[in-house]
Structure 1
């Protein structure tokens, strides 16, 4: 068959084309696929934005309206329930996408399907004033979201060579930064109309999947050999790696603790600004917007350069260690200075730290995988660290606020978690 060079630099039907032990079928990895880069950037912006804007701003605002006396406990509870569900969903959807054979490839059906389900769930949540229904719609949203996340992250392993992974990871991380910051600005502007904000986020979630399929379609893989989808195969997706997995678990623990430390603060930013610092809703919205702009600018400046720099230096560890420590330093400011400027300084440190971490994180994750043939499954396990952090962070804050009657202890706890994250990254051996 003649070699065809088109959108994906196809190189015939050679199923043995590999790079760094990753089988990629017809996709050439000899150069950077800019359409894939654009799709990953937009995909990250459009799925992380609605999530951060909802869990950090609009969901607390909605629960404050529905049940003001129980809002702190409810935010913690909805975060825990959703995150526990995500622990399972991320692994299962990652494993299912590994064995999927379709005209849209392995990942495409799950990215698009997850976007549709997530959009429907956010729209449904915008229509209710019932706490049980808020929980139900949030759980459905988490299912759809994790179908997107597990599959989109695996695309980097499938279709990007080691040579470019730091750069592509940086682009994906920049998407996180932009989406997170813009979602907070948008969410803050809808504090008094959370339902309208949720509808907007539903449309963004839908767009995350649609644009990916249109800009960087994977192509059919129906002719590829692969495992049959069986109950045993799904159960096997929960099997933890055992051989050569030391660094894998260190990376997982570090990521888990870093996310827990961050979410211990950001999930409660609205209540920190109103109940701890003493601002009214309008002023709190203004500070959230300012902090989001700062996070966006600092994250972009430091995030854009960190991935390519890590490629050039051949190092990942110094970047993730420094990012965890910097966010920990940031947590000190609102703890000792319960003023708006204290929270702004936290935003500066968090923006820089998360910018660096997001740009290098996926490259480090891929390079500590013990088995490249089960990339999506094992990346799903690493992504469990994100959802696991979302469990611990809100629970720690909720417990400490109830136990102490304030937020200062939660800042100290966040700092301890973040320092612990840095200590987990230090002993990793596979990655410098």
Structure 2
């Protein structure tokens, strides 16, 4: 947690709504934070993991690979566009329900309606339009939901809340995949159920955690130039923010470079051939269980010790060790060992990084806009990582170099936070 005020605040006034939640409300928020994060992530697990792929296959079986890549790429690009804008607009929202609540509820409603429309799409262009509406709706809700953490949670408890949020995200994503796969014969029903569950969870969350009215908060004019600045945080004025962004970007690049072609790695590098697909779910479950366990441990331990950076150092190093295993031992047991060790590193990183990034926000008007920018450090590697990995495989003529490249990126990401001055 910060030993001195995060750089970039310049000793200025805190954001428009600086008060943390009273103890009773904080306890309620703690118990609802995990399920609150499950709801919207059910959507991503179900739609991007299963349902959209099934629809694409039904619409155009021969072009399914290209069409699915087109849809997921467009969705990732739209996410990068929407999140900073949604954060800035929620910071400046003035309503009786507060700043974040209208966006959480409105996004859940809009995203749910788009999911219903998506379930009826019968062409790839129709699927593209409705999927982008789903992405816009739910991202407009997710970013304001994330901003509740720095809005209301004291720095000393943010590691615990970040752990709960990360566990909720992974549980929701995996749960959405399970629900959609069980209802794969009735995808329309799956769309409706997931959309309904996300809406019910969103309504319950804001009902249990009401915001203070924001109608009396000051708000200046918002022009197009100011809106475009939603995508920028000056690294010279906010160096701590810049280093945390760089660390997250590098470590996530290491992850996506090394994990984008898991099926092909199992087929060709490990040599499993046609049986490789049978092992992908087992590897995924192994990783998820390990990540969840160490996500639950990392954040609270970081709170207890009052330190963030050392956990990020360790996470990057452990994740790199996990990537070294299949490079040195290219066997199926080596891949499972990598899933466990890498899951430890990623789990610690996911929980502590979630707290660290809230402690370097510039908070000129509110935290939403800066959260939207720092989330680009996840979205950009997610979009570009597979392309970089493909280039490496093409140049090297094989998959082996993906592991050392990913390991170097992970170590660099872990140690980038050494330059952060305002957080221990």
Tell me the TM-score normalised to structure 1 length.
0.81
SS across alignment from 1:105: coil
Of residues 107, 112, 116 in structure 2, which corresponds to 1:119? 112
Mapped to 2, the partners of 1:302 and 1:26 lie a distance apart of 31
In structure 1, distance between residues paired with 2:19 and 2:168: 27
Q: Which residue of 2 aligns with 1:163?
A: 156
Correspondence 1:312-391 to 2 at 5 A: 312-333=304-325, 341-371=333-363, 373-391=365-383
Which residue pairs with 1:246 in the alignment?
Answer: 239
The answer to whether the Cα contact below 8 Å between 2:20 and 2:153 also exists between their aligned partners in 1 is no
The answer on 1:262 being equivalent to 2:255 is: yes
How far apart, CA to CA, are the structure 2 residues paired with 1:195 and 1:334? 40
**d(CA) in 1 for partners of 2:95, 2:411:** 44
User: Is 2:273 the counterpart of 1:278?
Assistant: yes
8 Å contact from structure 2 (residues 90, 368) kept in 1: yes
Equivalent residue for 1:426?
418
The size of the alignment, in residue pairs, is 411
User: Which string of whole-angstrom CA distances, capped at 9 and with x for unpartnered residues, describes residues 82-106 of structure 1?
Assistant: 2222222111000000110112210
Deviations 1:160-215 (CA, angstroms, capped at 9, x unpaired): 11222222222212212322443444455567776665554433433442232222
Cα RMSD after superposing both structures: 3.5
Greater shift in the superposed pair: 376-385 or 175-184: 175-184
> In structure 1, how many angstroms separate the alpha carbons of the residues matched to 2:183 and 2:339?
21
Give 1:268 shift: 5.0
Aligned partner (choices 141, 147, 160) of residue 140 of structure 2: 147
> 1:20-169 to 2 correspondence within 5 Å?
21-24=14-17, 28-29=21-22, 33-60=26-53, 62-63=55-56, 66-67=59-60, 71-169=64-162
Q: Please, which moves more after superposition, 112-121 or 48-57?
A: 48-57
Q: In 2 relative to 1, CA 201–234 (structure 1 residues): closer, same or farther, beyond 3 Å?
A: same
Give distance in 2, aligned partners of 1:62 and 1:165. 40
Cα deviation, 1:253-293, whole Å, max 9, x if unaligned, reads: 22122223333455555666678743569835xx41x3444
Cα gap change, 1:196/1:260 in structure 2, threshold over 3 Å: closer, same or farther? Answer: farther
Q: 1:226 aligned to 2:219?
A: yes
Unaligned runs of 5+ in 2: 1-12
Cα deviation for residue 335 of structure 1 reads 5.4
Q: 2:8 is matched with which residue? A: none
Q: Distance in 1 between matches of 2:383 and 2:314?
A: 24
CA distance in 2, matches of 1:405, 1:203: 47
CA apart distance, 1:410:
4.2
3-state SS of 1:370 partner: coil
**If the length of structure 2 is used for normalisation, what is the TM-score?**
0.82
Secondary structure of the 2:213 match is coil
Which stretch shifts more, 327-336 or 146-155?
A: 327-336
Query: How far apart in 2 are the matches of 1:70 and 1:46?
Result: 32
